[in-house]
Amino acid sequence: MTQAIATGAAPAGARAVTQPKRADARDRWARRLPLLPALIFAIIVTQVPFLVTLYLSTLGWNALRPGERHFVGLANYASVLTDARLRAALVNTIVLTAGAVLVSLLLGLGLAVLLDRRFPGRSVVRTLLITPFLVMPMAAALLWKHAIYNPAYGLINGLLGGHTDWVSSYPMVAVVATLVWQWTPFMMLILLAGLQSQSEEVLEAARVDGASARQVFTHMTLPHLRQYLELGALLGSIYLVQTFDAVFTITQGGPGTATTNLPYEIYLTTFRKFEYGEAAAAGVVVVIGTIVVATFALRVISSLFRMEEGR
């Protein structure tokens, strides 16, 4: 099986080189054709709004003052880049994303290990564990805010007693906990898939050779899981960096600006200040920032690419 896959991606290109030029070109087109519909679709639906954003970012346009729309050049960028709120929002975004991704990965790993063994009712437990991922995020955020964190009638204070106001005392933890609850099952599924793809014979052989369970886990399972951990971290970051529902619902970005992340800050500029030009400029800045970060993330992706080719 491993052999068969090894003949996959990479050699295909190599073989093409040996063919005549004309056939080569035709072949390239035959290869490209299936890609085009998706590519064109993605370009139109995602890049057109981006071009519009670029255009908007050069306008002084407050929607609440009709008739005052005018070209301001790069003035919006100046006010965005000097805005301390945006920098605070950046820090919050990083803390929120990193916190939620790391904790849900770790918990997900624990749960995946737990589920990798046979025990009575395993499939039921798995069903219970994936449930949070299936609940609508808006519903989850509302549930946590009103039914769980509420200081007067919330579940936590109901179980532990006391009158702690969880959301204002630990706003970031409250948001991250909600996200972790939702995303741990996703991480668990990916890691469980990783665990179950380990060759049972190899593990058995290691045990026969006298390796302890801990040794097997740290020296064999974890390295094997690395790709899956990276995949989980990548997908988790992509989705969690855009967290909006939870912030909007649970804390409204507060208290103060303690949990205002970039998406929420841009939302405030768009829907509370109605400074469309400024919001667009902030959007462009975030996109550029994301591309920079994504280039770093590309390293992670590249290692995933390699993994697939290498097999």
* Nearest CB to another protein, comparing residues 135 and 173: 135
Cis peptide before 255 (omega within 30 of 0): yes
CB of 250 to another protein, least distance (A): 9
Region of 212 (left: φ > 0; alpha: ψ -120 to 50; beta: rest) is beta
In the three-class reduction of DSSP (H, G, I as helix; E, B as strand; rest coil), residue 72 is classed as coil
* Nearest CB to another protein, comparing residues 222 and 298: 298
CB of 210 to another protein, least distance (A): 19
* Nearest CB to another protein, comparing residues 32 and 87: 32
CB of 228 to another protein, least distance (A): 9
CB of 91 to another protein, least distance (A): 16
CB of 272 to another protein, least distance (A): 5
Q: What is the DSSP string of 233-285?
A: HHHHHHHHTT--HHIIIIITT-STTTT--HHHHHHHHHHTS-BHHHHHHHHHH
Distance in angstroms (rounded) separating the CA atoms of residues 55 and 284? 10
Count of CA atoms in the C-beta half-sphere (13 A) of 184: 21
CB of 205 to another protein, least distance (A): 19
Q: Is 223 exposed, middle or buried (CB count within 10 Å of its CB: 0-12, 13-18, 19+)?
A: exposed
* Nearest CB to another protein, comparing residues 169 and 218: 169
Distance in angstroms (rounded) separating the CA atoms of residues 307 and 231? 11
* Nearest CB to another protein, comparing residues 4 and 208: 4
* Nearest CB to another protein, comparing residues 102 and 304: 304
Give the pair of three-digit tokens for residue 57. 């970012």
Distance in angstroms (rounded) separating the CA atoms of residues 241 and 103? 15
Q: What is the DSSP string of 198-228?
A: S-HHHHHHHHHTT--HHHHIIIIIHHHHHHH
